[in-house]
Amino acid sequence: MVSRMKDKLKKTLSEKRYKHSLGVCDEAVKLARIFGADEEKAYIAGLLHDCAKGYDTDKQIELCAEYGIELDKITLACKAVIHAPLGAAVAKDKYGIDDEEILEAIRCHTVAKENMSLLDKIIYIADMIEPMRDFSGVDKLRKTAYEDIDKAFIMGLKQSIVFNAEKNKIIHPDTISAWDYMLGDTKIERGHKT
Ligand SMILES: [Fe+2]
Ligand SMILES: [Fe+2]
């Protein structure tokens, strides 16, 4: 089953993207082992997280309409994130994945969201630290990922927020929600209590 999945994926992605997927898969399994997440789910989510990235943007938007995925204005404005919700639908439809935890990890791997599961965080971070990734601070993030996944997740969110802000790009509201949840949730709740 896995080898068929790999063959199919290889045909739809560029060689570089396929290699990236294998790298994410590998990192995700290692992180799952360390933090006690399901290794098999981490394997499949890591392998398939970019399974919709081989389609060009127009095709991605068209497929979202076919699958009934609603794209709000902001998501449409940051087109690079569309492959994530679409990827969950493609993983289900074309790769036969029914497990909702795997599908959710694929769905939120790009912009993140509030209150992510351990598997969600593992895929998010694995995507950022796989061996081909090369940005300033990646080594620190790699080291932290294997020590404290929540700390690494916050670092990863910061990396993404700062990267986009510096380029005057939109920061997806789900990324901000993830950030606020990780940093301020308890304080905000407390603040609202009378
Ligand atoms: Fe992606
Ligand atoms: Fe990726």
pLDDT in tens, 129-140: 999 999 999 999
> Does residue 156 contact residue 163 with C-beta atoms inside 8 Å?
no
Please, which pLDDT band fits residue 194 given cuts at 50, 70 and 90? very low
For ligand 1, the distance from its centroid to the CA atom of residue 27, given in whole angstroms, is 15
Residue range 23-69, pLDDT digits in tens: 999 999 999 999 999 999 999 999 999 999 999 999 999 999 999 99
Ligand nearest to the CA of 83: 1
Residue 130 CB neighbours (<10 A): 21
For ligand 1, the distance from its centroid to the CA atom of residue 17, given in whole angstroms, is 9
Ligand nearest to the CA of 86: 1
Ligand nearest to the CA of 53: 1
Topology of domain 2-192 in CATH is Hypothetical protein af1432 (1.10.3210)
pLDDT of residue 120: 98
Question: For the chain, what is the mean pLDDT?
Answer: 94
Domain ranges of the chain: 2-192
Report the distance separating Cα 2 and Cα 43, nearest Å.
10
For ligand 1, the distance from its centroid to the CA atom of residue 90, given in whole angstroms, is 13
Q: Alpha helix locations (H) across the chain?
A: 2-12, 15-35, 39-48, 57-67, 73-77, 83-95, 100-107, 118-129, 138-145, 149-166, 173-192
Residue 176 CB neighbours (<10 A): 15
**Helix, strand or coil, per DSSP, at residue 175:** helix
For ligand 2, the distance from its centroid to the CA atom of residue 194, given in whole angstroms, is 44
For ligand 2, the distance from its centroid to the CA atom of residue 23, given in whole angstroms, is 9
